[in-house]
Structure 1
Amino acid sequence: MKDIYETMIELIDNKEDFVLATILEKHGSAPREEGAKMIIKRDFSIVGTIGGGIFEAMAIKLSSKVFQDGVSMVKSFSLTNEGAAALGAACGGSVKLLLEYVDYNDSKMMDIYKNAFQLKMKGDNFAIITKIPEEDNSVREIDKWICSEASFYGEEDDTVQLICRELRENFKNIVMKNVNLEGKQYLIEPVLNNEIVYIIGAGHVSQKIAQITNMLDFKTVVIDDRDEFANRERFKTVEEVKVISSFENLLEHIKVNNNSYIIIVTRGHAYDKDVLAQVLKTDAKYIGMIGSKKKREFVYNSLLSEGYTSEDLKKVYSPIGVSIFAQTPEEIAVSIVAELIKVKRGPLNEKR
């Protein structure tokens, strides 16, 4: 699946203007989270989604005015429970949208989006800062900046530089938010590019997992010690396939941080145990190990005898995946990736 920034650059290179819809705020049962984006083309076809249904339809309808006038605007959409029921939605909610007119002739705006795409392709973390128009007001040009941990793009602005200084104090933990400074509203959108799924083991289940993680825009790396399994013929869509000599020194081949997801699906108990012993020493966001409860107990008991603690083992999701009574490789892959999504999207303090 193409990243939305990649699609934007393709449209810009093809000299196509478009409308970029971004959810600024949501209340009630609106289906997508704040920050969700959707591109609306001149023919009113879309790339991405802000939730489908009535909200998306209203955004597409309003985009005709954005195209006609060449302006950007902020608009709130609300739906009563009765209206939602009539349209097949579960219940009412409200969404505040930024509908941004992106003109390929606007050289300043094009530079911002091209720089954002280049930073994303390099894997750098950055934030896009946008000055938001007042609701129901239309503006012809929208002010936008990029702030990374080491660089700044956009016209010099003292207020925005103040925002950047604050962001850099704790950059990797920034979240999307609106800030009000000197009577002006700014949207801060972090683009943190280091969410990586490491699939340790390159068997049939791994193939199916990689297909789904690719669709969900996870950067996916597959690792095995057998080149007949870990190769581009079997894993065409992943970012990287690594063949290593053994699993014993796994951490020499991968960089694990608190945005890493580790899926352990090797071909045997001993390999699983070796891998788990290493990744337990990292701050990975997710560690999952495939296998039955009996296998899990064997691996856990071995690690406990080596000095690991019960607290260490609480970090592990095993048996892996959301319980859906999966049997086939495809079903197992769905259950595992569902668990990744739950960890990614769920509240930090939510109990498993």
Structure 2
Amino acid sequence: MKEVIEEALGLMEKGEPCVLATVIHTKGSTPQKAGAKLLIRKDGSCAGTLGGGCVEGEIWSVAKQLLSTQGDPLYRKYDLNEAFTARDGLVCGGTMFFFIDPLASTGNFQSFATEIVRAYRGEMPAALATVVNSPTGRPKLGSKLLIREDGTVQGSFDNRKLELETIAIGKILAIHGGSRHFKTADDTEIFLEGFTSPPTLILIGGGHVNQAVSKLASLLGFRMYVIDDRVEFADKERFPEAETLVISDYSRGLENVSVNSNTYIVVATRGHRYDDLALAAAIRTQARYIGLLGSRRKTIEIYKNLLKEKVPPERLRGVYAPIGLNIGAITPEELAVSIMAEIIMVRNGGDGMSMKMNTANLDTLMKHEDPDQAL
């Protein structure tokens, strides 16, 4: 998505027209979810994807027509029924809602896109709200509101009540990312997206497990910071993926990095005493996730020590300890998978459970030809 926004900004800076199509809402099984984007240039070439197939082809055709006629934004709904998806061999059956936006026609998108790109680069996080359906015409279809993390706003819906509701949602999305679609009493529909820099993972302790975590987290798009009190362990050769290496006492290392609600911390030092120091420092931050490597017995001992030091119990309740999902991990690499799976679960709001079909689903499928009845 970052690349699509950057490409749109580049085209607008050169004065070249383009259309941005976005999935704003879905129901049921669909090839893409809310937030997926396709940018269509004047010559018909594209960046991004809406999932391919006939739906993407239909959207492309509509966008080309808008480019030739300089038309207004459009709201479109596509039911992915059997007749529609059979042409592509897709097995979906859901419904997709799109907003097709000729960017030059909807005001300040260039300035909004500039801020979005900056947010991706680690500057002020922001959310963009767009009026994607307006049966009454007020607010105007395509109107946009940029909401920054600090609560400042650019743009207007000419409807203060709607703006206040949108700003409240936008401030949350600016911090955590993601998207949200909602409908008002008069059927006006708003689509919001949060834009922030990649999540930051702080690894406290330069041992083998955190080495494996660093490699995997890098593949998952996390920015990496490593803290250790030993020069030879906070080392670029051990952690080539790390953006920053901090050589510091564990009780003070976090003072050298920025920690916010898009930060995740893994405590895995070389012993209980150091874990005490690191965890005590970590729970004073606003990190979204704090995990402690070790057994239940070790966790209990560390908690006892921290409670003696008057650490509030509610702070400890938020710690993921022992760290990771229970997948029977043994090796550092397996532990890294367990740890990163838990972090992804927290970040994306999952439940960590297997998605395996249960026996009842399979029994139903065996009795019925229609697979939908087994869902």
Is TM more than 0.5 here?
A: yes
Unaligned runs of 5+ in 1: 136-140
Q: 41, 57, 63: which one pairs with 1:66?
A: 63
**Is the contact made by 2:236 and 2:245 (CA closer than 8 Å) also made in structure 1?**
no
| Equivalent position of 2:302 in the other structure | 299
**Structure 1 equivalent of residue 344 of structure 2:** 341
Which residue identity does 2:335 align to in structure 1? I
Are 1:252 and 2:251 counterparts? no
Paired residue for 1:177? 181
Cα contact 1:123–1:194 (8 A) shared by 2? no
C-alpha distance in 1 between matches for 2:306 and 2:6: 44
Deviations 1:310-331 (A, max 9, x none): 6544322223222333344443
What are the residue-to-residue correspondences of 1:213-252 with 2, within 5 Å? 213-232=217-236, 235-238=239-242, 240-252=243-255
Paired letter, 2:340 = V
The AA in structure 2 aligned to 1:98 is: F
State the partner residue of 1:138.
Answer: none
Aligned-partner Cα distance in 1 for 2:133–2:187:
11
C-alpha offsets along residues 262-315 of structure 1, whole Å, 9 cap, x if unaligned? 111223332222111222344432111123344334433433444457654432
Whether the 8 Å contact between 1:223 and 1:244 is mirrored in structure 2 is yes
Offset, 1:226 = 3.4
Map 1:5-84 → 2, pairs under 5 A: 5-6=5-6, 8-9=8-9, 19-30=19-30, 33-34=33-34, 36-40=35-39, 46-47=47-48, 52=51, 58-70=55-67, 72-80=73-81
- Residue 153 of structure 1: aligned partner: 154
- Which whole-Å CA distance do the structure 2 matches of 1:224 and 1:17 have between them? 51
Q: In structure 1, give the amino acid aligned to 2:126.
A: F
Structure number with bigger Rg:
2
Question: Aligned with 2:121: secondary structure?
Answer: helix
What whole-Å deviation, never above 9, does each CA across 1:130-164 have from its counterpart, x for those lacking one? 232569xxxxx94433232354434x6532x6544
The verdict on how the C-alpha distance between 1:121 and 1:306 changes in structure 2, with shifts beyond 3 A counting, is: same
DSSP 3-state at the match of 2:61: helix
Percentage identity across aligned positions? Answer: 31
TM-superposed deviation, 1:340: 1.2
For the aligned residues, what is the CA RMSD? 4.1
Structure 1 residues 104-253: aligned runs within 5 Å: 108-133=108-133, 142-148=142-148, 149=150, 151-154=152-155, 158-159=158-159, 163-167=162-166, 172-173=171-172, 176-180=180-184, 184-193=188-197, 195-232=199-236, 235-238=239-242, 240-253=243-256
Kindly tell me the number of residue pairs found equivalent between the two proteins: 335
Q: 1:325 aligns with which of 317, 323, 328?
A: 328
AA matched with 2:292: M
SS at match of 1:129: strand
Give the 3 Å change call, closer, same or farther, for CA 236–9 of structure 1 in structure 2.
farther
Kindly indicate whether the alpha-carbon contact (under 8 Å) linking 1:27 and 1:95 is maintained by their aligned counterparts in 2: yes
Q: Which has the higher contact order (CA 8 A, sep 6+)?
A: 1
Residue type matched to 1:28 in 2? G
Q: Which one-letter code corresponds to 1:67 in the other structure?
A: K
Q: What's the TM-score once normalised by structure 1's chain length? A: 0.74
Match of 1:262 among 261, 265, 268: 265
| 1:170, distance to aligned residue in structure 2 (A) | 7.4
Cα distance, 1:18 vs. partner? 5.2
Shift of 1:343: 1.0
Q: Which moved more, 1:170-179 or 1:327-336?
A: 170-179
Match of 2:275 in 1: 272
Which blocks of at least 5 consecutive residues in structure 2 are unaligned? Answer: 136-140, 174-178, 354-375
Label 1:64 to 1:293 Cα distance change in 2 as closer, same or farther (>3 A).
Answer: same
Counterparts of 1:67 and 1:236, CA distance in 2? 45
Contact conserved, 1:226 with 1:243, CA < 8 A, in 2?
A: no
Instruction: Kindly state the Cα deviation for residue 246 of structure 1 after the two structures are TM-superposed.
Output: 0.7
SS in 1 for 2:277: helix
Q: Which amino acid aligns with 2:144?
A: K
Contact 2:144/2:157 (<8 A) preserved: no
Q: So what's the TM-score if we normalise by structure 2? A: 0.70
Task: Classify the secondary structure of the residue corresponding to 1:158.
Answer: coil
After superposition, the Cα gap between the structure-2 partners of 1:157 and 1:125, relative to the gap in structure 1 and judged at 3 Å, is same
